[in-house]
Amino acid sequence: MGKSPDHYSYSAYADPAMAASFDARRFGGPIGRMLLEDQERVLMEFLGDVSGKTVLDMATGTGRAALALAQRGAHVTGADASSEMLGVARTRASALGLTIDFREGDAHALTFADRSFDSVVCLRMLMHVPDWRRALAELCRVSHHRVVFDYPALCSVASVQAVWRRLAQALGSTVEAYRVFGAGDIARELDRHGFRIVARHRQFVLPIAFHKAIGSPGFTRGLEGGLASVGALRLAGSPVTVAAERCAS
C-alpha cells in the first residue's frame, strides 16, 4: 500500500492549520518542552556522534529531530508526505541558518538507494501509517548501520487509548486511531530485514495527556520515577524508542 490521501495519516497533516499549530499543541507548555528535551536526549544517546554522518529523518514533520541533528553536525535529509509540514520545517531551518535537505516522500516507497544513510530516524510514525511492516522495511533498506524509531507498547495504557480511539473513529469522530505494538512483533520484523535491537527506552507509565493536565515536570519526574523504581516502567512504559543495528553479513 502506498500513499492514500484519504487515510488520516496523510489527510490530517495536509491541513495548513495543523502544520502551523503542530509544535505548540504537541510540545507546548512545561510537559511538552520536557518531552521534547527527553526525546532529543534519547535520540542522541542512541545515535552517538553524528558529526559528518548522513542521517535520514523520516516523517520529519516540522523538523524537530532534523534540526537537532543538523545542529550537531550531521548531513540531514528530512522527508515527509506533508508539504505543509515541510514548509514549517524549512522556515525553522532557515531561521537557524541550517542546511537540511527537506523533501516530500512516502514512507512506504522511499526513493533513496539501498543503504544510502549512515542512520535513519523515525519518530511517531509507525503507529499511524497504513502498512507499518512495509514502512519499517523501507527504513531498514535505506540505512547502512542503525535505525532509531518509536512505537506505543501493547502492554501499556496506550492499548486502552487505542481501543477507545478506534471505537470513536467507527462512530464518526475525527480522531487518530493509532495502533499499538508487541515487542516480539517489532523484533521479528527487524530480524527479517537483518537488524537487531541494541538499545531500548521506555518513556512513561501513565498517559502523556495525564501529565500535561497536571503541568508540572517535577511532579511527573517524581511520580514516574517512583513507578520505575517498582518495575512498572519496565513492564508497561510507553512509547518505546528502540535502536536497531544492521547485523554483520
Quick: pLDDT tens for 86-131: 999 999 999 999 999 999 999 999 999 999 999 999 999 999 999 9
Residue 138: alpha-carbon gap to chain centroid: 15
Whether 22 has a pLDDT exceeding 90, the answer reads no
Quick: pLDDT tens for 164-219: 767 766 767 666 768 899 999 999 999 999 999 999 999 999 988 899 999 999 99
Assign residue 29 the CATH number of its domain. 3.40.50.150
Quick: pLDDT tens for 232-247: 999 999 999 999 999 9
Flag whether 166 is in a domain.
no
Whether 74 has a pLDDT exceeding 80, the answer reads yes
Q: What pLDDT does 249 receive?
A: 61
Please state the φ and ψ torsions of residue 164, each to the nearest 5 degrees. -60, -45
- Domain holding 45, by residue range, is 8-150+181-202+241-246
How many residues does the structure list for the chain? Answer: 249
**How many folded domains does the chain comprise?**
1
Flag whether 169 is in a domain.
no
Q: Under 8 Å CB-to-CB from 53, ≥6 apart: which residues?
A: 74, 75, 118, 119
